[in-house]
Structure 1
Amino acid sequence: MNNIDQSLLMFENVKNNIDNFIKSDNNESDTRSKIIDNYLINILGWSESDIKREGKLESGYFDYKVSCPSISFVIEAKRNHKEFILPSSHTKVKIKSILRENNDVIQQIRNYCVDIGLPYGVITNGKQFIISKFFNTNGSDWKENICLIFHSIEDIENRFVEFYENLSKYSLINNGGFKYDYIPIDLEAKSILSTLIQRDKEIDRNNLSSELSPIIDKFFGEIFSTEQEDDLNFIKECFVENIESKKNRDEIERLFADKAPQMANVVKAINTNSIVSQIVEEISDDQINIKSPKSPKPIIIIGTKGAGKTTFINHLFRTRDNEFSENHLTVYIDFREFYEAYKSFEPTNISKEIYEKLTDKYSELELHSLKALKRIYQKQIKQNDESIWMFVKDKDEDTYNRLLTEYLSENLKDYSKHLEYLNNYLIRERRKRMIVIIDNADQYSILIQEKIFLFSHSLSRNSNCGVIFSLREGYYYKWRNRPPFDAYESNVYHITAPKYSEVLLKRINYTLEHLNNFEGKASSVTSRGIKIEMPNQKVIEFLSGLKDSLFSDYNSDLINYLSFTTYPNIREGLRVFKQFLISGHTDVSNYILREVYKEVDRVNKQIIPIHEFVKSLGLQNKLYYNSEFSIVNNIFIPPKDSNDHFINYYILKKFYDIYETKGIANKYISFSEIIEIFKEIGYRTNIIISSIERLLDYNLLESDELITDIEFGNLDAEIDLCISSKGYYYYKELIKRFHYIDLVLQDTPIFSQEYFSKIKSVFPLSDNKGLRDLKARVETVKEFVNYLNKEENRQAVGVFNMFGKPLDYINEQLNADILRIESKL
């Protein structure tokens, strides 16, 4: 696929050849093979796989069908002496203006287009081009459609940018179609946010954040840290094991046990009872002796981002018994730290890192000492003693020691080779095996993950080390049957995230049990100006009330929000919860007062309503909502080059409907198929693609489970997509609620000056504490819905027939929310 610089260079290189060929008399076949192929492949960047030649139709044989995810079209190639009669000094004309003089060729390609079901076609004789839409699907007269015309090679050269933007593969994919045929859209719009003077102003973090911060950082962060000593009690109390992780642990333990079990190459992880125990047993059964030095196959831990691969690996190896520690020397490499230090991956550097960590961690073994080095290289030293050193060994001690020192020093320079000798020494004389753990490699590109894969297998094979490393499941499943992965055997274990509610409950319980370490008093002022002073016991009361609010049978809204919008990324779920705790809009003091003065026999223990919770997350420390920075996503922002507020909604609804009607096993639909569905009801391809990419970026959609985590650059046409748990929650619940509309209307572009003025006139400004008048907020939401209703009425009937009216669905719950609020005003 050529960019414009490459295309122009190719055009300049071949234009003389094309011009000379055109001057000779050639038939249509020659025109195709010697001219049109040159244009399509060499100049315009199409590949052979994009092109189908001489397809049979009822009306005859078309010359070319060119296809990409954005658009497909037909090309009719005429003999080079067949001149089209075109109006000079024109670049665009209606079909009817040139139909009479070019009736045969236009009717011919129109018949092909109708037969094959593709509206667009290109007619060319090698020097002249007619590009147009030759039939319509909306019932309008096709002869009124506009043609883009090029008169000659010189005209193409003079208008090359226009030629490129309408026929190159690069432009058709990025523009979603022929650029000349764009219908201008009035994209002039304003958002409420853009007019606010204090739109970027932040409020202070909540009034107890300084007291909460050390607690939050300690108890709601990562269980494991390479920067400080592990709190084993914290690890044991807060690690959540599900059925899958237990089976994984048991199986890995078996990998290193006295007698290795017979295992399949890939361990199925889902719907099993004890995966953890298999891993632990394999480790424990490791037969460490010189007669059988071979290590178990490298272990690959796979899982989605944030599912708990690091937590699982660390829990597995840092909570083992003394017998395990006696027999195995574990070296943990956090690849993030390694890559930050070296800025690249080289086997020599990571081998050096492993060696240095090993000698530091197990300094009592004195593996760096001369005594140990002599034992490590005893065979090689003995061979030298009997050969090249024989004449100095007994006669010249100084020379012998110098030679020995030089030999050992030279060997120590090759860290990869030294690890091989070192581990064989440990097995041979210490009955210990080194286990190297390379964690967080999954956060880097496939190229780096591939290098780590090869290094790990080399380390295991050559050094007889046990090796465990983590990969992102998307990369592994996509590449496992391709080189180099298919050439090596590994034991692969899949980590599934535990239930978010279980993780959070354990963290809160542990925090409440260990708050005695945080003594003293906290003073603060509530959002209503009430000054209070309280011992840190009140922080305990806040977290107790929060626990009630999250896990009460009467209130599942908060935990549902956290679970649906972050699962399976448990790390992200904890990060979101931490953001709520320190948000400037989380009025901790008021929550504590509610808890302190609550009625003892109160049935509903809720102290934090869902609308306050979402507001705290959506605004963080800002006075106003800005979707660019907020973790609450705005689905009413149109895609690029569009003023349609509902395309994101329609696409989300389509995926929701597929999930609801076909079930979890059949919830996927290909990228190309969803594009075709929306093209049939009138949406341009570039708009559809832009919307889907935004929904993927928001994590409201996801790809099929085998490639969920692969970065989306150019989406493959056949990639399978489905609605995510977050997308399901947004469609099913969030977008219908007052607290969501109240936020997102603030930075939604308004394409009507009349309605913008109405919304702006009732929009209440925030005070310095982040409070806005509730009655005015209700009126603002009503005006915004009125605007959306006006925009909805502009939608095509075919869209309503397929998806219904968005506001009918949204207003079901939104009107109920507004009535409830107004009843309390």
Structure 2
Amino acid sequence: MESTDGFASLEAIVASFENRDRNEAKTRFDLIDRLLTEVLGWERPWIDVEERIVGSNGYMDYKLGSKGALLVIEAKREGISFELPVGLTSGVHALKPLITGTLNKPLRKALEQVRDYCAQIGVAPAVVTNGHQWVAFLASRTDGTAPLDGRAYIFNGLKSIEEEYVRFWNLLGPVGVSAHQLAAILSAEESPRPRPLSSSIREYPGTKSRNTMQSNLQILGQIMLEDVPSNPTYRDAFLQECYANSGALSQYAELSRELLQKRGELLVNSSGVGALPIEGKAGLNSNLAADITAASFSRRPIILLGPVGVGKSTFIQHLIRIDARQVFEKALTFTVDFGREGILDDLGDHSVEQVERQLNDKYGIDIDSQKFVEDVYRAEMKRFDGGIYGRLKEIDQTQYAVKRIERLEDLSGSRSAHLKRSLERISKSHNKQIVIFLDNVDQRSREDQNRIFLVSNEMAAQWPATVFVSLRPETFYESERYGAVSGYHPRVFTLAPPRTDTMLKKRVDFAIRVLETGGNVGGIGEGSSFGLSSDELVLFLTVLSENFRKNKQLMSLIDNMAGGNMRRAMDFVTEFIGSGHVDTAKIIEYARHNREYTIPQHEFLRSLIHGDGVHYDPRNSPVPNLFQLDRPESRGHFLMMVALDFLADKGSVGQNAGYVDLKDAVSYLQGIGFPVSSIRYSLNYCSRFRLLESPTSDVDVFEGDKCRVTSVGAYSARRLPELFTYVDAMVVDTPILDSAVRRELKDEYGLLGRLDRAEIFKKYLDDSWDVAGIPSSVWDWRRISARLADDIDTVRLRSRLSNRG
């Protein structure tokens, strides 16, 4: 609703109500309802009335907001309604003079009542009204001013509302309330979050230096684990030895096995589309092999559905070269990669260009060669010869040739139409099926994914080809209802993540074999085309392989923080190899003397948190700062952990595959005093770090109607805050609200100094918890704090023993 839409309604309301009895309850509530819906634009589903306040006998007359309460209204309806001083003009007024004395008691009681309601659910904007007069104030503040010592914006009568209609709309309409317009007018300069310790570090975040061995190892590790598998020399051997079947449930996941099994079901099955797992215990789903042929006749694409990084590209290569090799040997296969390109102006043109190039490079077919074009359009050129220009062949050979060229140019001018005709001719002349994979689609935006799906439908419907397209489950869920998929009935196969430990061990063992054989793996090739030989890397990878096999604590960290994304898990490992935060020489020395080395969780976590930096930097780290807050309130340090705990607990019951209605989550968090703005900030922060996921948004979970905790979120909330390594890193990024504590915290590099700093930070969090007012029955920081204290003591003891040795 636009602001101008409500003015005509307001004029009618003013004419109807201006002279009625202000103390008549029904008239007053009819008036308020109409002003809210017809004038301010609050939709009926956003208005809750007579909602009981938990833990009291009170009721909120009106609670407004689409997802959680944004505005609370107290409507006086019994006894004597409050009165404002005669002649009081509309505008900003101090509240104290209006609520002091016996005559002003009704207004004071109303303000106190709504203030207490708002404090309980974390809402700042509030209104007390008798229908005609509106007193809008901030019932919850962070600027050090008591709510009733502050100011209010007063509309003293319907005529005043009419005269200041734009102001009325801006302050109390849904758009203005969401934009905190009332706070902008009434609040003093709100205290900002204090700047974190990082702001005082001269070269933050800094660059962690590596010695020559570490630098070389990291480069070699990236080549062996990332580049070698894509090299044609090793491709088949890699696919044969390193492929890990999808769907094997992790034994380390923080989420339950039952929930993991159901996580993909809701998005697909609720759409009414029959989705089949792409692999089972017996291997490749037999329906898929049959559909490769059938899809070209059904004229619809086959969707490969799986999360980002699950291994869809590897599956496609394994399908082509291993699982269904006999099928694809009789086909011409093309892969259109949407992940390696930058901004694409036309996704359809990109697909055409990729297929054209691969026809030429892989199969030696140039669809623009004279002979080929003549062959494709033989029927059209036969008609040309029988047409008006045909006689030129006898009269003027040169002109005849020019006209033929012009006609062929017209026929082949549309690249998409020409490629379609070319594929039809190739399929028939070679007696081979055409199969096109649109890969890495899930790495693009949702809008691009929708457009690419439409491209796949056009290809499947018009080209003589079986078309595969890879999508994310969330994109499919959204598009099936509201976007590109909604008008089609595609064939869908789901690809679940493989076991992370299995995938990593196979990759590392393969890299060891390549290095140890000089590249001659299984008799293929003539030695490593990379010219590598690294005894140190072999030793380091051997340690990794053993740890992937039996170090449960390490694998729990990697598995959960990767969250089913195999690409991220591999990035974690390549970052660890040669990290400046790791004692690489010590690990290699252990391996050189055949001594077992168990990689400590804290050692891997430190490389994960810091990356190439000296200090934690949330812009470059995959690890979130769960103590971050958006406003200077102590309880904010715990909001993310409380939210993740609630969502994990709520999502573990029922048949919703872990999803929780966002409205329920916001209502719960408001019920323990968190404002909507802080809830939104925290949930979006969690979404950015993949702690939460929503079916309809990657950025703002408030755009959707539900969300759920990922394994990254469950592990981060339950395990990380109790570790010294984590808290030690987060202290530089966390705004400290206590100025005395801020002065104590320094930039520390030595272990003992960092341990002392972590204890100061822990005590600060303990004190913040004591004044946060969050019931321990909801979530209890003290349990985490006790385990954190134990870990700090353990690290301190280990340091002392090491120094003695």
- C-alpha separation in 2, matches of 1:710 and 1:224: 33
1:91 is paired with a residue whose SS is strand
- Report what 1:547 is aligned to: 545
Tell me whether 1:822 sits opposite 2:797 in the alignment. Answer: yes
Residues 437-471 of structure 1, C-alpha deviation per residue, up to 9 Å, x if partnerless?
A: 22222223333222222222222222222211112
1:208 is paired with a residue whose SS is helix
Identity of aligned residues (%): 20
- Report what 1:778 is aligned to: 755
Q: 2:707 aligns with which of 714, 720, 724?
A: 720
Q: Do the aligned partners of residues 424 and 26 (structure 1) sit closer, same or farther apart at CA in structure 2, a change above 3 Å counting?
A: farther
- Report what 2:787 is aligned to: 812
One-letter amino acid of the counterpart of residue 212, structure 1: L
- Report what 1:567 is aligned to: 563
One-letter amino acid of the counterpart of residue 821, structure 1: R
- C-alpha separation in 2, matches of 1:169 and 1:574: 46
One-letter amino acid of the counterpart of residue 403, structure 1: K
Correspondence list, 1:265-344, <5 A: 266-269=274-277, 272-273=280-281, 276-278=284-286, 281-282=289-290, 285=293, 294=297, 297-319=300-322, 324-325=327-328, 327-337=330-340, 340=343, 343-344=344-345
Q: 2:779 aligns with which of 792, 803, 817?
A: 803
- C-alpha separation in 2, matches of 1:681 and 1:595: 53
- Report what 2:264 is aligned to: none
- C-alpha separation in 2, matches of 1:564 and 1:369: 53
- Report what 1:744 is aligned to: 730
Unaligned runs of 5+ in 1: 56-61, 136-140, 246-263, 288-292, 520-534, 600-604, 767-771
* CA contact 1:207–1:588 (8 Å) conserved in 2: no
- Report what 1:368 is aligned to: 368
- Report what 1:615 is aligned to: 606
* CA contact 1:389–1:400 (8 Å) conserved in 2: yes
One-letter amino acid of the counterpart of residue 495, structure 1: L
Q: CA deviation at 1:321?
A: 7.3
- Report what 1:423 is aligned to: 423
Correspondence list, 1:318-717, <5 A: 318-319=321-322, 324-325=327-328, 327-337=330-340, 340=343, 343-345=344-346, 347-348=348-349, 350-363=351-364, 365-389=365-389, 391-392=391-392, 397-482=397-482, 484-516=484-516, 536-551=534-549, 553=550, 555-597=551-593, 599=595, 605-644=596-635, 645-658=637-650, 662=653, 667-703=658-694, 707=695, 710-713=697-700, 715-716=702-703
Residues 305-341 of structure 1, C-alpha deviation per residue, up to 9 Å, x if partnerless?
A: 111122222332344777545532222211245553x
1:677 is paired with a residue whose SS is helix
Residues 68-123 of structure 1, C-alpha deviation per residue, up to 9 Å, x if partnerless?
A: 22425458699xxx996344575242574599479699989989x99xx9995453
- C-alpha separation in 1, matches of 2:341 and 2:515: 35
- C-alpha separation in 1, matches of 2:558 and 2:166: 49
Q: Do the aligned partners of residues 38 and 396 (structure 1) sit closer, same or farther apart at CA in structure 2, a change above 3 Å counting?
A: farther
- C-alpha separation in 2, matches of 1:450 and 1:711: 15
- C-alpha separation in 1, matches of 2:108 and 2:9: 25
- Report what 2:210 is aligned to: 205
Q: CA deviation at 1:596?
A: 2.6
Moved more, 318-327 or 564-573: 318-327
- C-alpha separation in 2, matches of 1:695 and 1:48: 31
One-letter amino acid of the counterpart of residue 609, structure 2: G
* CA contact 2:563–2:710 (8 Å) conserved in 1: no
Q: TM-score, normalised by structure 2?
A: 0.78
* CA contact 2:94–2:149 (8 Å) conserved in 1: no
Residues 264-314 of structure 1, C-alpha deviation per residue, up to 9 Å, x if partnerless?
A: 963321884457343652266569xxxxx8365311112111111222223
Q: Do the aligned partners of residues 318 and 755 (structure 1) sit closer, same or farther apart at CA in structure 2, a change above 3 Å counting?
A: same
Q: Do the aligned partners of residues 817 and 717 (structure 1) sit closer, same or farther apart at CA in structure 2, a change above 3 Å counting?
A: same
One-letter amino acid of the counterpart of residue 779, structure 2: F
Q: CA deviation at 1:563?
A: 0.5
Moved more, 321-330 or 744-753: 321-330
Q: CA deviation at 1:548?
A: 2.4
Moved more, 455-464 or 542-551: 542-551
1:498 is paired with a residue whose SS is coil
- C-alpha separation in 2, matches of 1:450 and 1:54: 43
* CA contact 1:670–1:717 (8 Å) conserved in 2: no
- C-alpha separation in 2, matches of 1:161 and 1:738: 54
- C-alpha separation in 2, matches of 1:284 and 1:350: 20
Q: Do the aligned partners of residues 584 and 177 (structure 1) sit closer, same or farther apart at CA in structure 2, a change above 3 Å counting?
A: farther
Moved more, 560-569 or 574-583: 574-583
Q: 1:123 aligns with which of 122, 129, 133?
A: 129
- C-alpha separation in 1, matches of 2:639 and 2:446: 33
* CA contact 1:295–1:464 (8 Å) conserved in 2: no
Correspondence list, 1:10-21, <5 A: none
One-letter amino acid of the counterpart of residue 764, structure 2: Y
Q: CA deviation at 1:351?
A: 2.7
Q: Do the aligned partners of residues 103 and 34 (structure 1) sit closer, same or farther apart at CA in structure 2, a change above 3 Å counting?
A: closer
* CA contact 2:94–2:150 (8 Å) conserved in 1: no
1:489 is paired with a residue whose SS is coil
* CA contact 1:176–1:685 (8 Å) conserved in 2: no
Q: CA deviation at 1:794?
A: 1.0
One-letter amino acid of the counterpart of residue 550, structure 1: F
Q: Do the aligned partners of residues 756 and 107 (structure 1) sit closer, same or farther apart at CA in structure 2, a change above 3 Å counting?
A: closer
Q: Do the aligned partners of residues 666 and 366 (structure 1) sit closer, same or farther apart at CA in structure 2, a change above 3 Å counting?
A: closer
Residues 505-548 of structure 1, C-alpha deviation per residue, up to 9 Å, x if partnerless?
A: 011101111114779xxxxxxxxxxxxxxx83232122212322
- C-alpha separation in 1, matches of 2:84 and 2:435: 78
- Report what 2:84 is aligned to: 85
Q: CA RMSD in A?
A: 4.7
* CA contact 2:626–2:717 (8 Å) conserved in 1: no
Q: 1:756 aligns with which of 737, 742, 749?
A: 742
Q: Which has the higher contact order (CA 8 A, sep 6+)?
A: 2
* CA contact 1:69–1:672 (8 Å) conserved in 2: yes
One-letter amino acid of the counterpart of residue 320, structure 2: F
1:621 is paired with a residue whose SS is coil
- C-alpha separation in 2, matches of 1:510 and 1:91: 75
Unaligned runs of 5+ in 2: 52-59, 141-145, 250-271, 520-532, 801-805
Q: TM-score, normalised by structure 1?
A: 0.76
- Report what 2:57 is aligned to: none
Q: CA deviation at 1:793?
A: 1.6
Residues 540-575 of structure 1, C-alpha deviation per residue, up to 9 Å, x if partnerless?
A: 122212322333x3x322211110111211111111
1:733 is paired with a residue whose SS is helix
- Report what 2:258 is aligned to: none
Q: Do the aligned partners of residues 22 and 130 (structure 1) sit closer, same or farther apart at CA in structure 2, a change above 3 Å counting?
A: farther
Q: CA deviation at 1:782?
A: 2.0
* CA contact 2:338–2:444 (8 Å) conserved in 1: no
One-letter amino acid of the counterpart of residue 783, structure 1: I
* CA contact 1:207–1:587 (8 Å) conserved in 2: no
* CA contact 1:302–1:470 (8 Å) conserved in 2: yes
The number of equivalent residue pairs is 737
One-letter amino acid of the counterpart of residue 593, structure 1: E
Q: CA deviation at 1:498?
A: 0.7
Tell me whether 1:730 sits opposite 2:716 in the alignment. Answer: yes
